Amino acid sequence: MSLRKFILTLPIYLIFISTHAQQLALLKYKGGGDWYANKRTSLPNLIAFARAHDFAIDEEQAVVESDNPEIFQYPFVHMTGHGRVFFDEADVKNLKKYLESGGFLHIDDNYGMDKYVRKEIKKLFPDRELKELPADFEIFHNYYDFPGGLPKIHEHDGKRPQAFGIFIDDRLVLLYTYETDLGDGWESYEIHHDPPEKHELALRMGLNILYYVFTN
């Protein structure tokens, strides 16, 4: 087992008392989509929420390009946007190796990227199925309890929220959240004017995702 994979599978209490905080990253991708859509407050707010719950996470978010080997420094990479996403050969090779080596990619549809990102996920794992996670999957119950599964944060097309995943050796390595917009829910109040309960709900779900990353 690699050192990185070993770190990612440490018990959560060891993560908490570590003197080296893990840094989370926002993915910069090709295709013309607005990868930076929620850059100002979304992931930073989730990081602050996690730190308030004693997660050993660096207070600054990083930005990493999809073909950059530096991605291996980050246990959790968040991807969002509204438009076109495109992974070229270098992106596919780098991202696939990252995920197979113990990394985790969370893709959150900010409304409008669904028809593009599904094709790009297929490039990463042509032989694996993007499976919908059932409401009893552990990511919905590990830190906070979400009896109904993924919460609904923003209306979008009024469809039910769905969480899809790619698994390697029974470990979820790619999480795609659709018709919920967790990232917008993490944003500060002045951005979308979400009611406090929706903001809290989104942050709690985000914390569940991070808990899964650091304990699996």
Residue with tokens 């930005």: 63
What is the domain count for the chain? 1
What CATH number is given to the structural domain containing 21?
A: 3.40.50.12140
Q: Look up the pTM and report it.
A: 0.89
Dihedral angle computed from the Cα positions of residues 7, 107, 65 and 73, in that order, rounded to the nearest 10 degrees: -10
Give the C-alpha separation, 70 to 89, whole Å.
17
**Residue numbers of the domain that contains 31:** 3-215
pLDDT tens, per residue, the chain with 216 residues? 333 443 443 333 333 334 458 999 999 999 988 999 888 899 999 999 999 999 999 999 999 999 999 999 999 999 999 889 999 999 999 999 999 999 999 999 988 899 999 999 999 999 999 999 999 999 999 999 999 999 999 777 778 999 999 999 999 999 999 999 999 999 988 876 778 999 999 999 999 999 999 999
